[in-house]
A and B are shown apart, each in its own frame.
Chain A
Amino acid sequence: MIRIVTLAAYDEGDITHLSKTLYRSFGLGTEHAGVRALPKKAERDDGRFDAIRLLADGPPVRAYADDKVLYITDKELAIPKGPLGEPPTWGFAEQGGNKALISTFRFKPRGVTEASIEVFRRRLARESIHFIGHLWDLHHCYDARCAMHPSWSPTLPDDPEFELDAFCRDKSERRVRLAKT
């Protein structure tokens, strides 16, 4: 079961579309667990939110074994700087764990036209699949058409696909089958 927790106000249509997409991708039931307050402790001095801390201090959600919880926020996220600098952050997840977080801060504005809303929904679905994929132990994929391709890659198109490629899909299905429940 995938439980979606929104940390900001989102359109109900967008969340419904996301639930359906996640169900199609992983074959797991998906539901919206409600809107929760953002933990202010995770805010840094520069106004961004520490992704690791936000996920650790995220509002608790009733979940059972193997349930995956996906938090969605509209705040800018930050991660520790690496040896070559800080990669742009679209989200964070516990590899092989239960909680993931995505941010819609870097998305194109949702707008009011059907086309812009569609683009927003597709991107929301892609990033959600990407970080839930990490929860199922998937790694990044070199195929730009796969949802597990890094979100900042220069080869990623403007409106990327939101499906897993064959290898990642097989691997995630294996993991899902091996799950306890």
Chain B
Amino acid sequence: MVTVGAVRTSGKRERADKQEEASPPAGNIASSADLRPGDRVVYPKQGVYRITGLEQKDIAGQRLEFVKMSREEDGASVLVPLGKVATIGLRRVATADDIEGVFHYLGASYDDPELDWKVRHRDNVERLIAGGVLGVAEVVKGLHSLSRLRPLPAKERELYDSSRHLLVNEISVSLGVPEVIAEDYVDFALMPPAGVKLPLRPPPIPVELKGPPWKRKKPAVVEDDDLGLAELGIDMAALEGAAEGAAGSEESEEGEAEGATPAAEDGAEEGEAVPAKPAVKAAEKVSVQKIPAARKAPPPPSPPPPSKKPAAKAAAAAAKKPAPKTAPKPAPKVASKVASKAAAKPPSKGPAPKKGTPAKKPAASRPAPPKKGAKPAKGKKK
């Protein structure tokens, strides 16, 4: 047996209060007085439940009253405190008209899947909770469209499967058909057979989710000092201290920062399978906006391009010309490493001096006598 919402932290209470401020979508159950035993309701992200009655329980010295519900799919029981009925997003099972609208929505063309995985994930979760049956259809449709472009990452594949399960379940209950047939209807709309033209009407407009403000924060400004270097394991304090020492090193810092940004982006893209909660928590706590902002807002055109070559050129120029501003570069470790690497490259590409590079060459590439070199190698392998 599962008890929902029995204990909440103060932060969660604030969120719930804010959520109450947003107008609920149509079909939502506003208070526990609307519920009767035998009613069928949809619990967001859980499925279709049947109200079985009220139950009183003593919890932590308090006598609380709960609405008892049982999931139709597997008979799992849930107790919801009476006071929380309005805030958890319970809603009535969609009517046949709503479901018809869902099919017209599924059958309509959809060419604009959200490509930013963080925005997509946040929106999908919110739609599943507060978007009604059309919100669930939106998630299925969006992820299905995305799956045509590229395979879904593991987490989204699971989300796709679970949202499909919720949609099929509700359609099945609403239309009174078995689930397999409801799923056939869904896929008939999503991917009709060749040569079949569906009698589609204009799709209904999904509920615009105002959502709780803590979820709707959007990146506004890209902060210059937040470069995502901490993710790369670079000590920010050391960098800052060094940067203070170097008065005119702003330009080089910019170059370094922009050089580091692609790495952060890579991290973000690789992190597609990262679970949603940490991302949301991060969005709540500190400076959320860095990765989406870095991806969305293109870097300003005026500063020099963020590549290794300019750094190398600068280093080379510094070596040739005694320029007081650019030449002293004690602070940034990364930039100096990059510069040194880049500076090391040109001589290796050009006609390299024979004496300068003996140690770096691997033993295998040396022109060694064939028999002598082969025997020890065999011995080593063994």
Q: Which residues of A are in contact with B by a Cβ distance under 8 Å? A: 52, 79-80, 82-85, 87-89, 92-96, 134, 139-140, 142-143, 150, 152-155, 167, 171
Best-surrounded residue of B99, B160, B180, B187 (most CB of chain A within 10 A) = B180
The interface residues of chain A lying within 8 Å CB-to-CB of B196 are 85
The interface residues of chain A lying within 8 Å CB-to-CB of B100 are 83
> How distant is the Cα of A142 from the Cα of B196 in the complex, in angstroms?
19
Best-surrounded residue of B99, B148, B187, B198 (most CB of chain A within 10 A) = B187
Q: Which 6 pairs from chain A and chain B are nearest by CB?
A: A95-B179, A82-B185, A87-B188, A142-B147, A152-B193, A154-B194
Contact A142 B144 (CB under 8 A): yes
Contact B180 A82 (CB under 8 A): no
State the Cβ distance, B20 to closest chain A Cβ, in Å. Answer: 34
The interface residues of chain B lying within 8 Å CB-to-CB of A88 are 193
> How distant is the Cα of A80 from the Cα of B188 in the complex, in angstroms?
13
Contact B179 A85 (CB under 8 A): no
Asked whether B181 is an interface residue with its Cβ less than 8 Å from the other chain, the reply is yes
> Could you tell me the dominant secondary structure of chain B's interface residues?
helix
25 contacts between A and B (CB under 8 A): A79-B181, A83-B99, A84-B103, A84-B104, A84-B107, A84-B200, A85-B188, A87-B184, A88-B193, A92-B178, A92-B180, A93-B180, A94-B180, A96-B179, A139-B161, A142-B147, A142-B152, A143-B151, A150-B184, A152-B193, A154-B192, A154-B193, A155-B191, A167-B161, A171-B161
Asked whether B215 is an interface residue with its Cβ less than 8 Å from the other chain, the reply is no
The interface residues of chain B lying within 8 Å CB-to-CB of A94 are 178, 180
State the Cβ distance, A88 to closest chain B Cβ, in Å. Answer: 6
Asked whether B157 is an interface residue with its Cβ less than 8 Å from the other chain, the reply is yes
Contact B191 A150 (CB under 8 A): yes
Contact B178 A154 (CB under 8 A): no
State the Cβ distance, A94 to closest chain B Cβ, in Å. Answer: 7
Within 8 A of A (CB), among B82-120: 99-100, 103-104, 107
Contact B185 A139 (CB under 8 A): no
- How many residues of B are counted as interface, with CB atoms below 8 angstroms from the partner's CB atoms? 38
Best-surrounded residue of A93, A96, A139, A143 (most CB of chain B within 10 A) = A139
> How distant is the Cα of A96 from the Cα of B73 in the complex, in angstroms?
10
Contact A85 B198 (CB under 8 A): yes
State the Cβ distance, A37 to closest chain B Cβ, in Å. Answer: 24
Contact A52 B178 (CB under 8 A): yes
**Given the known A-B contacts A79-B181, A142-B147, are A84 and B189 also in contact in the complex, defined by CB atoms under 8 Å?**
yes
Within 8 A of A (CB), among B199-221: 199-200
**Given the known A-B contacts A134-B180, A155-B191, are A84 and B144 also in contact in the complex, defined by CB atoms under 8 Å?**
no
Partner of A154, one of B147, B175, B186, B191: B191
Contact A95 B187 (CB under 8 A): no
Contact B164 A80 (CB under 8 A): no
Contact B184 A82 (CB under 8 A): yes
Contact B178 A87 (CB under 8 A): no
Contact B184 A79 (CB under 8 A): yes
New contact pairs (16) apart from A82-B184, A84-B198, A150-B187, CB-CB < 8 Å: A79-B181, A82-B177, A82-B185, A83-B100, A84-B188, A93-B180, A95-B183, A140-B183, A142-B147, A142-B148, A142-B160, A143-B151, A154-B193, A155-B191, A167-B157, A171-B161
Contact A140 B193 (CB under 8 A): no
State the Cβ distance, A102 to closest chain B Cβ, in Å. Answer: 12
Asked whether B165 is an interface residue with its Cβ less than 8 Å from the other chain, the reply is yes
**Given the known A-B contacts A83-B99, A83-B103, are A153 and B178 also in contact in the complex, defined by CB atoms under 8 Å?**
no
Interface 1/0 per residue, B5-49 and A, CB below 8 Å: 000000000000000000000000000000000000000000000
